[in-house]
Structure 1
Amino acid sequence: MSPDDFQRLIAGVTSQLADRPLDGELAGWLNATWPADSTVFRDLAAACRTGVAEGWLCNREGGGIRYGRIFKALPETHGFSVDVVDMKDLAGPHHVHPNGEIDLIMPLDAGATFDGHPAGWCVYGPGSAHRPTVAGGEALILYLLPQGAIEFTPA
């Protein structure tokens, strides 16, 4: 697995998402189409674990969070930026999703959750905000942001 291979893998997912509204219906579709026991989910999780181990994912650290944007919003990723974070039992910085956010939750410890969600997909609509929180252990989270839009806030 290389960053180029990872980009191709992500593009297979983002090609299905580019024109869809980011809402609860999309979250349901993602979890039905690529559930945690699917090949796509397993391939993405394995690619993320490899990228972290090889140092081309999560290559920055701050506040107990390992993170990194591997791709800005590109035509190849259908206008989504791609970030991966590694968190364990903590809340990250508060931020707003101007265009929404799609998250792939990949627990590294059994039972780890992201914002209360187990392994799988979570979708935040445009204008939503939160303090991303991993509880119950460690997890990798892959963030897809339309047009790469995110605004960190002091809240």
Structure 2
Amino acid sequence: MSAQEFQRLIAGVTGQLAGRPLDAALADWLNDTWPADSPTFHELANACRSGVAEGWLCNREAGGIRYGRIFKALPDTHGFSVDVVDMQDIAGPHHVHPHGEIDLIMPITEGATFDGHPAGWCVYGPGSAHRPTVANGEALVLYLLPQGAIEFTRA
């Protein structure tokens, strides 16, 4: 899996998300359309694991969290930036999502959760904020941010 192949894979997802409100209905749609046992979920998870192993994903580290923005918000990704983090039993830095955030949770350790969510999708609406937290082991989390917008805060 190359970064270009990964971008094409992500574009297949973001193309169906562009223009939709980031809300609970979108989270339900994502979990119904691409649940954790679906081929698309497995393809995305395998691509992320490959990218980490090959060194082009999660190629930075700070505070015990491996991370990396693989794509800025691009027309090819329908205006979403793409980040992947590798976290294990840790809370990350507090931040605000000016336009919302879509997360794909891919546990590495069986039973690992992200903000209390198991494997699957989680959506935060515009203006929401959190300290992203992985518990019960290790997980990869793919973040899709409309316009790449994120604001780190001290809260």
TM (norm. structure 2) is 1.00
Equivalence map 1:66-85=2 (5 Å):
66-85=66-85
Aligned to 1:151: 151
Aligned to 2:24: 24
Query: Within the alignment, does 1:5 sit opposite 2:5 as a pair?
Result: yes
Aligned to 2:93: 93
Where do 5+ consecutive residues of structure 1 fail to align? Answer: none
Letter in 1 for 2:147: Q
Aligned to 2:135: 135
Equivalence map 1:51-130=2 (5 Å):
51-130=51-130
SS of residue matched to 1:126: coil
In 2: Cα distance, 1:38 partner to 1:107 partner: 15
SS of residue matched to 1:30: helix
Letter in 1 for 2:108: L
In 2: Cα distance, 1:123 partner to 1:154 partner: 22
In 2: Cα distance, 1:42 partner to 1:75 partner: 25
Identical-pair percentage? 83
Letter in 1 for 2:113: T
Shift of 1:68: 0.1
In 2: Cα distance, 1:39 partner to 1:7 partner: 17
Shift of 1:102: 0.0
Aligned to 2:48: 48
In 2: Cα distance, 1:41 partner to 1:77 partner: 18
Shift of 1:19: 1.0
Shift of 1:74: 0.1
TM (norm. structure 1) is 1.00
Shift of 1:52: 0.2
SS of residue matched to 1:73: coil
Where do 5+ consecutive residues of structure 2 fail to align? Answer: none
Shift of 1:20: 0.3
Q: Give the paired residue count.
A: 155
Runs of 4+ residues deviating >2 angstroms? none
Superposition CA RMSD, Å: 0.2
